[in-house]
């Protein structure tokens, strides 16, 4: 058998502290979690043979979590989100903000609020695509930025595939 039975002897903390005490593990090789574990020891020791606790686990759902899940289920092909770009809101964030604004105004049911928020966010997305200047299908501009030079070449796609 290739597996070790040492996992059943003590906890990872007791084995690591034993290695540190005996000098088998250097102080600079000590795991990151070790000091945190020592400062905030758990109430019940994490052993493999510990009985499972039967406490009730509360489900923590915010109202926006349910709405977000429904939005993603109904619209599975949302655009990608760039996590480094914090200057723009994602479609989901825009939807939730719109939904919350509409719900503050009050008077409508949740299904009506959802439909209104979806139509408003999708309408904004369509308008932003229309307002953005699109390159011509016939002519495409190519920028050459080699050695700091910028030259624009107009390439006609129809001429590329034209028989000579």
Helix (H) or strand (E) holding 129: helix 110-131
Q: Are residues 31 and 69 in the same domain?
A: no
Residue 4 has pLDDT above 50, yes or no: yes
Q: What Rg do the C-alpha atoms of the chain give, in angstroms?
A: 30
Q: Are residues 34 and 79 in the same domain?
A: no
Give the C-alpha separation, 3 to 162, whole Å. 68
How many domains, in total, are found in the chain?
Answer: 2
pTM for the whole structure: 0.47
Residue 145 has pLDDT above 50, yes or no: no
The model's pLDDT over 63-112, given as tens digits with 9 standing for 90+, comes to 889 899 999 899 888 878 888 888 888 888 889 999 998 888 877 788 88
The model's pLDDT over 16-67, given as tens digits with 9 standing for 90+, comes to 999 999 999 999 999 999 999 999 998 888 887 888 878 888 888 888 898 9
In a domain, 105, yes or no: yes
The domain containing residue 24 runs over which residues? Answer: 6-39
Q: What is the pLDDT of residue 27?
A: 94
């Amino acid at each position: 058998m290739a597996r070790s039975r040492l996992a059943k002897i003590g906890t990872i903390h007791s084995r690591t502290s034993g290695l540190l005490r005996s000098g088998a593990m250097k102080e600079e090789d000590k795991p990151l979690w070790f000091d945190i574990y020592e400062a905030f020891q758990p109430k019940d020791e994490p052993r493999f043979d510990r009985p499972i606790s039967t406490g009730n686990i509360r489900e923590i759902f915010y109202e926006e979590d349910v709405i977000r899940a429904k939005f993603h289920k109904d619209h599975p092909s949302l655009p990608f989100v760039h996590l480094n770009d914090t200057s723009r809101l994602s479609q989901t964030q825009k939807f939730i903000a719109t939904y919350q604004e509409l719900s503050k105004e009050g008077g409508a049911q949740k299904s009506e609020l959802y439909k209104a928020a979806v139509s408003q966010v999708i309408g904004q997305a369509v308008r932003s695509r229309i307002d953005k200047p699109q390159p011509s299908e016939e002519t495409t501009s190519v920028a050459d930025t080699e050695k700091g030079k910028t030259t624009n070449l107009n390439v006609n796609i129809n001429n590329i595939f034209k028989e000579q």
